[in-house]
Amino acid sequence: MPPLSDFAAQAGSAIKAFAEASSDLLIQPTLRLGVTGLARSGKTVFTTALIHHLVEGHRLPAFTPAQEGRLRRARLVPQPDDDVPRFPFEEHFSALTGERRWPRSTDRISQFRLAIEYERKGGWRSGPGTLNLDVVDYPGEWLLDLALIEQSYVGWSRATILGTRRAGRAAMAAPWLETLKGLDPDGPLDEIVAERAADAFKAYLAALRAGPEAVATTPPGRFLMPGDLAGSPMLTFAPLDRLGESIRPDSLAALMERRFEAYKAKVVVPFFRDHFQRVDRQIVLVDVLSAVDAGPAALAELEEAIDAVLLSFRIGRNTLISYFFAPRADKILFAATKADHLHQTSHDRLDALLRLLVARAMRRTEAAGARVGTVALASVRATRETTVHDGDLVLRAVSGTPEAGEQVGDDIFDGSTEAAVFPGELPASAEAVLEGAVPPGSLRFPRFRPPVIKPDPLGRPGDLPMIRLDRAMQFLIGDRLS
């Protein structure tokens, strides 16, 4: 039987959900959108571009409310949760347009609210309306932590150690596994030993994230993004080997288990209760191209990560009861980012590859009544399309300004010189990519600087170029502005 505290937490969540749903119906409609993604997927850029296009009212052909001229205005207003940091839109927009650099990565939760004023399409609800769009931006590593809620310390330790046997992980795991050999789970409780074990484990997690797979599927996510928890005992634990089914009191294993449970109770569960389970719609950004270039093992890891992400969501079609007491996410969009690194002829192929990666999880999700979509996009387009000639061959290429220090072949760029780059092409068959049709390292993806954005004649911010961002917006919020 679950402990009384679990029932109390569920009751508190239900009361909060009921209050928010009642406010939604009686005062002003609100849609809560979660934005997350795996490492280096462009979460901050997506969120910045979303605000920019809605506030500035730019042309968005695939976003029906804008295309039909029914968007009146959108403005940033005070957010609903005063205990959550505000998303620093102005800072990120200035970095993109003024300094031509990509904003700093998401390393904590943040939030903003947009009040979107629009004209309804007609019928008995015709006339002006307002939708409050609450966007919660958070690191994808925190999302993968939700799997820990159902795990025991012993089970997590065994699964994590087993994960070191995957292809490509032996060298990264070797220093940590060597440290692990010298740790006796039944040995005396020793703080210095616990810190040494935790440091070795964190070094392994950091190596995983810096490696070619870079999808950071091994929790705990806060170990790499500690924030104000840096140095806390809750982040000073690690898996141990040779664990029995029972743990001896006052042992090293008992200390690790206690901190593992504290991490779940004081970090993971509050995130789930206060933020995650209140999300109505969700977008998950994925750097598919990096996984493609790393090879089939990285793609298999990415597919597993996506499946774990979907398993974390409370999904399905909302009934009247669930809407008031336990709201579910009824739409989830997976987005393959950095589509501007490829010529447009490969954009549909990138989308097809993402659909293949989410196919297994998608069937399970749609059976619960939720809609899952995919799109290949570039929230801010850093390149334009061109052609290059290689003898008699004419190659479809992209042109932009590579960042200083980026290298393609023998060329090292200075950060101000434009270059045309042939990135390679994705095969027409997504299955062929999973089978290794793209040799690791064969694609060329230098990191480009953001494009030059000039103000319009009236001094207003210029339009951030994008690829299919409007399609993502239509899937996520278009129906709520009808």
Q: 90 — alpha (psi -120 to 50), left (phi > 0) or beta?
A: alpha
* 343-369 per-position pLDDT tens digit: 999 999 999 999 999 887 777 666 667
At residue 364, the pLDDT reads 65
- Percent over 90 (pLDDT), the chain: 57
In CATH, what class is 4-138+275-381+468-481? alpha beta
Helix axes 153-163, 252-263, angle to 10 degrees: 90
CA separation for the pair 101, 85 (Å, rounded) = 23
At residue 415, the pLDDT reads 95
Q: Side chain identity at 99, as an amino acid letter?
A: E
Alpha carbon dihedral 169, 171, 173, 176, in 10-degree steps, equals 180
Q: Name the pLDDT band for 2 (thresholds 50, 70, 90).
A: very low
Q: Name the pLDDT band for 180 (thresholds 50, 70, 90).
A: very high
* C-alpha angle 402-404-408 in degrees, rounded to nearest 5: 55
Helices (H), 279-346: 288-294, 296-312, 320-325
Look at 85-94, 197-206, 326-335, 390-399 and tell me which has the smallest mean pLDDT: 326-335
pLDDT averaged over every residue in the chain:
86
At residue 21, the pLDDT reads 44
* 89-128 per-position pLDDT tens digit: 999 999 999 999 999 887 789 999 999 999 998 766 779 9
At residue 421, the pLDDT reads 92
Tell whether the model's pLDDT for residue 17 goes beyond 50. Answer: no
At residue 211, the pLDDT reads 67
DSSP type of residue 234: G
Q: Name the pLDDT band for 145 (thresholds 50, 70, 90).
A: confident
Spatial neighbors of 460 by CB under 8 A, at least 6 apart, are 56
Tell whether the model's pLDDT for residue 254 goes beyond 70. Answer: yes
* 206-252 per-position pLDDT tens digit: 998 876 545 556 889 889 888 778 889 999 999 999 998 899 999 99
Q: Where are the domains of the chain?
A: 4-138+275-381+468-481, 148-267
Tell whether the model's pLDDT for residue 187 goes beyond 50. Answer: yes
Tell whether the model's pLDDT for residue 35 goes beyond 80. Answer: yes
CA separation for the pair 135, 52 (Å, rounded) = 14
Question: pLDDT: is 468 or 361 the higher one?
Answer: 468
Q: Name the pLDDT band for 275 (thresholds 50, 70, 90).
A: confident
Look at 325-334, 370-379, 408-417 and tell me which has the smallest mean pLDDT: 325-334
At residue 165, the pLDDT reads 87
CA separation for the pair 404, 149 (Å, rounded) = 43
CA separation for the pair 108, 115 (Å, rounded) = 24
Q: Name the pLDDT band for 448 (thresholds 50, 70, 90).
A: very high
Whether the Cβ atoms of residue 131 and residue 29 lie closer than 8 Å to each other: yes
At residue 108, the pLDDT reads 84
At residue 26, the pLDDT reads 46
> How many angstroms separate the Cα of 313 from the Cα of each of 275, 308, 407, 422?
12, 9, 40, 39
At residue 391, the pLDDT reads 82
Helix (H, G, I), strand (E, B) or coil at 29: coil
At residue 314, the pLDDT reads 63
- What pTM did the predictor assign? 0.87
Tell whether the model's pLDDT for residue 429 goes beyond 70. Answer: yes
* Stretch 201-209: mean pLDDT: 91
Tell whether the model's pLDDT for residue 413 goes beyond 50. Answer: yes
